[in-house]
């Protein structure tokens, strides 16, 4: 029987486009294995940091539980770290999710929700100091393309989310399938989670 995994991406005003649609492209190339949904607190449409808007599948008050939770970054995270409705929703979803993931500054939201306490995690290197200030009990990794800690996957900035998504596909399915997805997308998958030249650019190592 084909394994099916429901994925929820939480959106908020000024989310980062590639944080969302880069990973969703990878998962979406395997429709028999992954079903994708966009979820937000209220409304029907959410604007990205770059301008284009996305139509929601669910709101917080009418969505089911999901197997995989994906939290993007973007300028909106600076506001949403102080949104108790969003943070509580993340806690509830994470309690039953098989995997909890973030891209870029999305890890700041997971950290503020207390979900990364005692775990290793990473984030966008350009915003490293701000993100790490949101979770003092997190073992933040200064040099990492993405970090796996049990069922939590966190990635560095923007394009790193695609590498993380492929790594998660490899774990859920197998490495050959993940490589096939990268080939279909004509994407050069960085398979080494420690590949991180941006840590040096931003003088974190």
Active site residues: 104
Q: How many C-beta neighbours within 10 Å does residue 132 have?
A: 18
Cα distances (angstroms) measured from residue 189 to each of 57, 104, 146, 168: 29, 17, 12, 13
* Pair of tokens at residue 111: 């950290």
Closest CA to 26 of 194, 159, 197, 195: 159
Residue labelled with tokens 């990268």: 182
Q: What are phi and psi of 192, to 5 degrees?
A: -90, 115
Beta-bridge partners for 28: none
């Amino acid at each position: 029987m084909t394994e099916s995994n429901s994925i929820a991406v939480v959106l908020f005003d000024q989310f980062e486009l590639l944080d969302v649609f880069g990973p969703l492209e990878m998962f979406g190339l395997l429709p028999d294995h992954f079903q994708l949904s966009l979820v937000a607190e209220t409304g029907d449409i959410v604007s990205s940091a770059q301008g284009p808007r996305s139509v929601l599948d669910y709101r917080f008050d009418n969505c089911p539980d999901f197997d995989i939770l994906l939290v993007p970054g973007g300028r909106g995270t600076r506001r949403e770290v102080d949104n108790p409705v969003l943070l509580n929703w993340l806690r509830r979803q994470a309690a039953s999710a098989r995997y909890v993931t973030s891209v870029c500054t999305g890890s700041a939201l997971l950290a503020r929700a207390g979900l990364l306490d005692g775990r290793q995690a990473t984030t966008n290197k350009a915003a490293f100091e701000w993100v790490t200030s949101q979770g003092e009990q997190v073992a933040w990794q200064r040099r990492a393309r993405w970090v796996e800690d049990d069922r939590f996957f966190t990635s560095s900035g923007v394009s790193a989310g695609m590498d993380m998504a492929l790594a998660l596909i490899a774990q859920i399915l197998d490495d050959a399938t993940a490589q096939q997805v990268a080939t279909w997308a004509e994407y050069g998958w960085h398979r080494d989670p420690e590949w991180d030249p941006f840590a040096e650019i931003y003088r974190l190592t």
